[in-house]
């Protein structure tokens, strides 16, 4: 029998009992749909995590002061006054593969402009901060090296601060007062949204580091040094070189612990990405169980079909059908069941993924590989679980099959 004839006979057999066929492929539909939906949600979550971590800055390395013990109390990381501007300058000059270095000091204050005020964080830093933190300007300019050298009272507003202090006008060229010190607003940062840790990255005012230390917090040490490596491959070498340089500059002996901490954001990105991948695979693995259950259902129904059609099989053999023809007939029926169920499952899975995105507000990403994989697995289930019933049908004794009632 030709391939077209096998498909025609198989299709006629399936539509003869449509309700039973639908129930048979229900497990395949659920399995394929669940695989596609779970992998779409997992891929969307992974993309969202990577996007949030990317907002921290490309190839970002963070150096913070170490902890200190006062009165037997461990105050935790960042409590020491161990980082100075000279440390940041030395990192920029002496550590290979460093693209940008941005020393940073901060405080919190009430910003006042006209009749409006807003409690926000004040960040004192240098011009490289814009590149390290991957910000862009919405209007105006960023602080310059001339501002930093002269200790100029210039300020750049985050989008949230600009919206609250100047809801209906352009802030550039106006004045904002911070701790009774007037700052000329020279620019507004483009909105960046929340960080991966839920902090509003637009709720801040950026001023020159020299102005921060001289006029706002009176500190000559740094709260953090931000470093951007030339490339992801250079991050590890920059970390190790920075640690060695700071230990040398701080005069630490081999027995003394670091008085600073170097944090590699790339490791956080890799860990988050790996976690998302594991979760996606776990969900897909659980969903794949439904495909196996659906395959068992196909095998059961095909066995019932063989029993019901024993006399038909005997007649086919009597008129010249070979064992191979009977085997292919029932195997094609099983595969057709799986493929129909897989096709419906693909449509259901894509629809469920987008419905989830709309209803729950989750980001989903349809992965073409997941569609092909789940559909191919559904066809394989039809072959594996349909082979035994098909072989059993092909090995029936023609005479006994003709006598079957």
E-strand spans in 38-114? 60-65, 69-70, 73-74, 98-113
**Residue 55 pLDDT:** 56
Rounded-to-integer distance, Cα 62 and Cα 397, Å: 78
Q: Where are the domains of the chain?
A: 3-52+271-403, 81-258
Grade residue 142 by pLDDT with cuts at 50, 70 and 90.
very high
Are the beta carbons of 95 and 239 closer than 8 angstroms?
no
Task: Tell me the β-bridge partners of 123.
Answer: 106, 206
How far is CA 114 from each of CA 163, 164, 167, 221, rounded to the nearest angstrom?
A: 13, 11, 11, 33
Cut 0.75: pTM above it:
no
One-character DSSP codes across 124-153? EE-TTHHHHTT--EEEE----HHHHHHT--
Report the share of the chain in percent with pLDDT over 90. Answer: 34
Are the beta carbons of 203 and 160 closer than 8 angstroms?
yes
Query: What's the alpha-carbon Rg for the chain, to the nearest Å?
Result: 34
The total of other beta-carbon atoms located within 10 Å of residue 294's CB is 28
Nearest Cα neighbor of 158 from 190, 129, 128 is 190
Q: Specify the pairing of strand 224-229 against strand 260-264.
A: unpaired
Angle (nearest 5°) at CA 163 between 162 and 169:
80
Q: Residue 117 pLDDT > 80, yes or no?
A: yes
Looking at 148-157, 332-341, 396-405, which range is the least confident one?
396-405
What are 298's two structure tokens? 């196909």
Report the share of the chain in percent with pLDDT over 70. Answer: 79
Are the beta carbons of 148 and 208 closer than 8 angstroms?
yes
> Which of 75 and 278 is assigned the larger pLDDT?
278
Q: pLDDT tens for residues 62-76?
A: 999 876 544 443 444
| pLDDT mean across residues, the chain | 81
Q: Residue 369 pLDDT > 70, yes or no?
A: yes
Are the beta carbons of 371 and 345 closer than 8 angstroms?
no
Are the beta carbons of 35 and 291 closer than 8 angstroms?
yes
Average pLDDT over residues 8-30: 75
> Which of 9 and 205 is assigned the larger pLDDT?
205
Are the beta carbons of 156 and 208 closer than 8 angstroms?
no
Q: Looking at mean pLDDT, say which of 164-173, 327-336, 355-364 comes out highest.
A: 164-173
Angle (nearest 5°) at CA 131 between 126 and 136:
105
Are the beta carbons of 346 and 31 closer than 8 angstroms?
no
Q: pLDDT tens for residues 192-248?
A: 877 655 678 899 999 999 999 999 988 888 999 999 988 877 888 999 999 999 999
**Residue 161 pLDDT:** 95
Grade residue 372 by pLDDT with cuts at 50, 70 and 90.
confident
Nearest Cα neighbor of 244 from 227, 262, 226, 229 is 262
> Which of 391 and 49 is assigned the larger pLDDT?
391
Looking at 56-65, 148-157, 283-292, which range is the least confident one?
283-292
């Amino acid at each position: 029998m030709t391939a077209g004839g096998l498909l025609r006979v198989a299709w006629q057999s399936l539509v003869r009992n449509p309700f039973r066929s639908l129930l048979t492929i229900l497990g395949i539909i659920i399995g394929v749909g669940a695989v596609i939906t779970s992998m779409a949600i997992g891929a969307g979550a992974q993309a969202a995590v990577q996007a949030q971590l990317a907002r921290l800055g490309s190839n970002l390395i963070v150096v913070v002061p170490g902890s200190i013990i006062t009165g037997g109390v461990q105050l935790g990381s960042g409590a020491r006054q161990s980082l100075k501007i000279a440390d940041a300058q030395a990192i920029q000059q002496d550590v290979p593969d460093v693209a940008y270095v941005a020393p940073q000091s901060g405080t919190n204050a009430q910003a006042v402009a006209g009749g409006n005020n807003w409690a926000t964080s004040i960040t004192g830093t240098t011009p490289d901060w814009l590149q390290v933190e991957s910000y862009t300007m919405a209007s105006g300019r960023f602080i310059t090296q001339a501002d930093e050298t002269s200790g100029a009272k210039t300020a750049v507003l985050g989008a949230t601060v600009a919206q609250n202090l100047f809801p209906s006008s352009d802030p550039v060229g106006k004045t904002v007062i911070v701790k009774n010190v007037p700052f000329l607003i020279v620019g507004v940062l483009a909105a960046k949204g929340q960080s991966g840790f839920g902090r509003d990255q637009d709720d801040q005012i950026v001023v020159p580091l020299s102005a921060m230390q001289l006029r706002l917090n009176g500190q000559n040490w740094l709260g953090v040094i931000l470093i951007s490596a030339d490339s992801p491959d250079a991050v590890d070498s920059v970390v190790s070189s920075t640690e060695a340089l700071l230990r040398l500059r701080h005069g630490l002996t081999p027995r003394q612990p670091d008085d600073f901490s170097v944090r590699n954001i790339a490791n956080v990105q890799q860990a988050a990405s790996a976690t998302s991948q594991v979760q996606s695979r776990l969900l897909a693995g659980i969903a794949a169980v439904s495909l196996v259950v659906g395959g068992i259902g196909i095998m059961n129904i095909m066995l019932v079909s063989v029993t019901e059609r024993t006399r038909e099989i005997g007649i086919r053999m009597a008129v010249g059908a070979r064992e191979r023809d009977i085997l292919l007939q029932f195997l094609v029926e099983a595969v057709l069941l799986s493929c129909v169920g897989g096709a419906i499952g693909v449509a259901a899975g894509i629809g469920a993924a987008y419905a989830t995105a709309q209803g729950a507000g989750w980001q989903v990403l349809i992965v073409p590989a997941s569609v092909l994989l789940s559909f191919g697995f559904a066809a394989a289930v039809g072959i594996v679980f349909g082979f035994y019933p098909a072989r059993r049908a092909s090995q029936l004794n023609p005479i006994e099959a003709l006598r079957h009632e």
